Structure 1
Amino acid sequence: MANIKDVAKKAGVSVTTVSRVINNRGYIGKSTRQKVEQAMEDINYSPNQIARALQRSQSFIIGVIVPDSQHPFFAELIKNMELYAYQRNYKLMLCNSLDEAEKEANYMSMLRENRVDGIIMCSQTLDVEEYKKASLPIVSFDRILSSQIPYVSSDNFHGGTLATEHLIEQGCRKLLHLSGPLNLEVLPNRRADAFKLTCMKHDIPYRIVEGEFSREAFSYYPEEFIRGKIDGSLHEYDGVFCSNDLIAYALYMYAVKRGIRVPEDLKIIGYDYNSFTKILQTPRLTTINQPAGRLGKKLCSTLINMIEDKESDAVSNSIIDVELIKGETT
C-alpha cells in the first residue's frame, strides 16, 4: 500500500510538502501542487483520514444547524457549504432544529460530544449565552451573537431598501411588509427597518405584519393581508414586500383566488431568489437575490480558517451584497 513517502519520492518533493498539499496548509506553488496531486493519482495513494484526525486532534467534521433543510434557501445554502467543505477535506454533520429551542440546544450538545471541529449556526432560537458556552469555533448566519463570534449575512438593510424603493417606483402608494418573526435580534429584521424608513422618507402609508418565514405559516394571516387599517382609515394595499419567496408565492396564489390581478392591482416582491424561484416561471417573481452560493462558501471558509488558525483572535464579519431581480409580479 502506497504511503506519503512514496508520494514524495514520485513527485520529487519533501514529505513536508506532500503533507501541506494533503492538509491544504501553507503556501504551495501551483506547479508543485499539481505534481503532488498527479503523483498521488499515479500510485493510487489516498490520505488516511483517521490518521490525519489523530495527528492533528481534529475530526474534520463541521456541525451545521439549520431551521429546516427542506426550505429552498437553506437547501441551496447547505449544498454550497458542502461543496466548499469537500474542497477543504471536511465533512458536514447536518441538524434540523425546526425552530425548536430545546432541539437546537440538544444538537449543540450532541455536536460537542461528537467532537466536531466547529459549528455553523443558521438556527436562531437560543439566547446568546448558550452559544458562548459551546467552547468551539462558531460562525453565525444572519445573527450577531457576540463580538467574539463572527457572522455572515446578506445586506438585509440594502435589500429592504431596494425592494421598497422598487415598489414605490412602480407606482405603489399603500405598502405592506410581511416580515419574519421580530422577537429575536436577528439581521433579517433590518429588512423591516429599511421598509419603514423608506416609506417614511417618501411619505407612503405602510404597515408591517409580523409572521413566520415558512409557507405553511401563511394560512394564519387574516384577510387584512390585502385590506387593513392604517391610521384609523381603510386602505387597500397596492404593494407588498415579503421577507422570502415562499411567502411571496403564497400571497400571489391568495390574490389570484380572490380575483386580485398581479401586478395590475397588487404588486408583490420577495426575498431570496433561491433554486425554487429560478425554476418556477409562472409567474416570474420579482425578488431580492441574496446569493446562497457566496454565503455558503463564506460561512464555511470563515469557520475552517478559524479551526486551522487557532492562534488568531481576529473576528472577521462578512456582509454579502444583494441585487434586485425584476420579474412579472411588479
Structure 2
Amino acid sequence: MASIKDVAKEAGVSVATVSRVMNNRGYISKETRRKVEKAMEAIDYHPNQIARALQRSQSYFIGIIVPDSNHPFFSDLIKYVEMRANEKNYKLLICNSLEDPEKEANYISMLRQNQVDGIIMCSHTMNIESYKKVTFPIVSFDRFISPNIPCVGSDNFRGGELATEHLIQSGCKRLLHISGPLDLDILSNRRRDAFVITCMKYGVAYDIIEGAHNKLTFDYFWSFITEKLSPEELHKYDGIFCSNDIVAYALYIYAQQQGLQVPEQLKIIGYDNHSFTRMLQNPKLTTIMQPSDRIGSMLTNTLIQMIEAEEDDPHVNNTTVDVTLIKGDTT
C-alpha cells in the first residue's frame, strides 16, 4: 500500500509539503499542488481519513440545518455546500428543521453527539441565546446571532431596492410587497425595509402583506395568496414585489385567473433565481438573483476556516454577497 513518503518521492517534494497539500494548510503554489496531486494519482494513494481524524481530533463531518431541503433555494445551497466541503475532504450531514424550534434544537444536540466539527445554520427559529450556548464552530446564513458567530448572506437591502426601483421605473404607481415573516430578526427582512424606503423616496403608494411561518411549498403559498389577496384587492396594484420566486409564480397564475395581463396590467418580481426559476421559461420570471453557488461556497469556507484555525486566531468576518436583477417577462 502506498504511503505519504511514496507520494513525496514521486512528486519530488518533502513529506511536510505533501501533508500541507492534503490538509489545505499553509501556502502551496499551484504547480506544487499539481505535482503532489498527480503523484497521488500515479501511485493510487488514498489518505487514511480515520487516521487523519484521530491525529487532528476531527471527524471531518459538518452539519447543515435548513428549513426544508425540498425548497429549490435550499436544495441548490446544499448542493454547493456539499461540493465545496468535498473539495476540502469534509462530509455533510443534512437536517431539515421544518422551522420547528424544538426540532432545530434536537438536531444541534444530535450533531454535537455525533461529533461534527461544525454547523452551517440556515434555519433560525430558536432564540439567539440558544445559539450562543453552542460550543463548537457555527456559521449562520442570513441572521446575525453574535460577534462570535459569523454570518454569510446576500445583500438583501440592495435586492429590495433593485426590485422596487425597477417596478417604479417601469411605470408602476401602486405597489405591494408580499414579505416573509417579520417577527424574526433575519437579514431577508431588509428586503421589506428597502421596499418601504424606496417607495417613500419616490412618493409611490404601497402596502405590505406579511408572510407566515413553517411552509415553503407552492400549495401553501397559493392558499396564502388567495386568502390574503382578494380579486378586488389584487386589481388595486400594478406592481408586486414577492419575497421569493415560488410566491411570484403562484401570484402570476392567480393574476391570470383573475383576468389580469402580466406584465401589461400587473408587473411581478420575485427573489432567488434558484434552479426551479431558471427551469421554467413560460413566463421567464423577473427576479433578484442571490447566487446560491457563492453563498454555499462562502458558508463552507468560513466554517472550515473556523474549524482549522489556530486557537489564538479564530476570528472570521461576516460576508455579504452581491445580488443582481434578472429581467424576465413579468415586468
Could you tell me how far apart the structure 1 residues matched to 2:292 and 2:232 are? 34
- 1:157 matched residue in structure 2: 157
Are 1:325 and 2:326 matched, yes or no? yes
**Equivalent residues in 2 for 1:162-201, closer than 5 Å:** 162-201=162-201
Q: Deviations over 1:90-146 (max 9, x none)?
A: 111110111111110000000000111110000010001111111011110000001
Q: CA deviation at 1:286?
A: 0.4
Deviation at 1:223, TM superposition (A): 5.4
- Secondary structure, aligned partner of 1:168: helix
Query: Which runs of structure 2 are paired with 1:132-281 in the superposition (5 Å)?
Result: 132-212=132-212, 214=216, 215-218=218-221, 219-221=223-225, 222=227, 224=229, 227-228=232-233, 236-281=236-281
Structure 2 match to 1:116:
116
Query: Which residue is equivalent to 1:232?
Result: none
* Partner of residue 31, structure 1: 31
Give 1:31 shift: 2.1
Matches of residues 74-113 of structure 1 in structure 2 within 5 Å? 74-113=74-113
CA separation in 2, counterparts of 1:165 and 1:31?
48
Query: Which amino acid in structure 1 is aligned with residue 87 of structure 2?
Result: Q
The alpha carbon displacement at 1:313 in A equals: 3.7
* Residue identity in the other structure for 2:326: I
Deviation for aligned residue 1:216: 3.1
CA distance in 1, matches of 2:199, 2:13: 64
Structure 2 partner of 1:300:
300
Farther-moved stretch of structure 1 (40-49 vs 214-223): 214-223
In structure 2, distance between residues paired with 1:284 and 1:226: 24
- 1:266 shift after superposition: 0.9
How many Å apart are 1:158 and its aligned residue? 0.4
What do residues 142-170 of structure 1 show as CA deviations (whole Å, max 9, x unaligned)?
A: 00001111000100000000000111111
Shift of 1:175: 0.6
Check conservation: 2:252, 2:262, Cα contact below 8 A. Answer: yes
1:142–1:151 CA contact under 8 A, matched in 2: yes
Letter in 2 for 1:185: D
8 Å contact from structure 2 (residues 248, 268) kept in 1: yes
Instruction: Tell me the TM-score normalized by structure 1.
Output: 0.95
Shift of 1:2: 1.1
- Paired residues of 2:231 and 2:258 also in contact (CA < 8 A): no
Can you list the C-alpha shifts for 1:48-70, whole angstroms capped at 9, x where unaligned?
A: 00000000000111110000111
Cα deviation, residue 217, structure 1: 2.8
Paired residues of 2:306 and 2:315 also in contact (CA < 8 A)? no
Which residue identity is paired with 1:41?
E
CA root-mean-square deviation? 1.4
Shift in Å, 1:8: 1.6
CA distance in 2, matches of 1:315, 1:2: 37
Matches within 5 A, 1:11-90: 11-90=11-90
Tell me the secondary structure at the aligned position of residue 303 of structure 1.
Answer: helix
- Unpaired runs of 5+ residues, structure 2, are none
Between the aligned partners of 2:29 and 2:286, the Cα distance in structure 1 is: 45
Number of residue pairs matched by the alignment: 325
Aligned-pair CA distance for 1:226? 5.4
1:6 is the counterpart of 2:11:
no
Alpha-carbon shift at residue 307 of structure 1 (Å): 0.7
- Once the two structures are aligned, what percentage of the paired residues are identical? 63
Q: Residues 226 and 241 from structure 1, CA distance in 2 versus in 1: closer, same or farther, beyond 3 angstroms?
A: farther
**What runs of 5+ residues in structure 1 fail to find an aligned partner?**
230-234
1:301-323 superposed Cα distances (whole Å, 9 cap, x missing partner): 01111111143142300011111
In the aligned structure 2, how far is the partner of 1:185 from the partner of 1:226? 32
Aligned-partner Cα distance in 1 for 2:277–2:326 = 11
Q: TM-score, normalised by structure 2?
A: 0.95
Post-superposition offset of 1:71: 0.6
Counterpart amino acid of 2:68?
Answer: D
Aligned residue for 1:35, secondary structure, equals helix
Distance of 2:33 and 2:116 partners within structure 1 = 28
Moved more, 312-321 or 104-113: 312-321
Q: What SS class does the counterpart of residue 153 from structure 2 fall into?
A: strand
Further displaced range: 68-77 or 217-226: 217-226
Secondary structure of residue in 1 paired with 2:7: helix
Q: Measure the CA separation in 2 of the matches of 1:115 and 1:327.
A: 46
1:9 CA displacement? 1.9
